Amino acid sequence: MVATDSSRDMLAVAAAAAESKGGEDLIALDVSQPLPLVDIFLLVTGRSERNVAAIADEVEDKLLEAGHKRLRREGREEARWILLDFGDVVVHVFHEQERVFYGLERLWKDCPIVPIELPARVSADD
What is the tens place of the pLDDT at every residue in 37-87? 899 999 999 999 999 999 999 999 999 999 999 999 999 999 999 999 999
CB-CB contact of 42 with 92 (8 Å): yes
pLDDT exceeds cutoff 80 at 124:
no
Domains of the chain, residue spans: 5-114
CATH architecture of 5-114: 2-Layer Sandwich (3.30)
pLDDT band of 2, cuts 50, 70, 90: confident
Q: Can you give the pLDDT at residue 119?
A: 72
Dihedral sign (CA 65, 66, 67, 68): negative
Which DSSP helix (H) or strand (E) runs through 19? helix 5-20
Entry pTM: 0.91
| Mean pLDDT computed over 91-102 | 96
Q: Can you give the pLDDT at residue 120?
A: 67
| Mean pLDDT computed over 114-118 | 88
pLDDT exceeds cutoff 90 at 117:
no
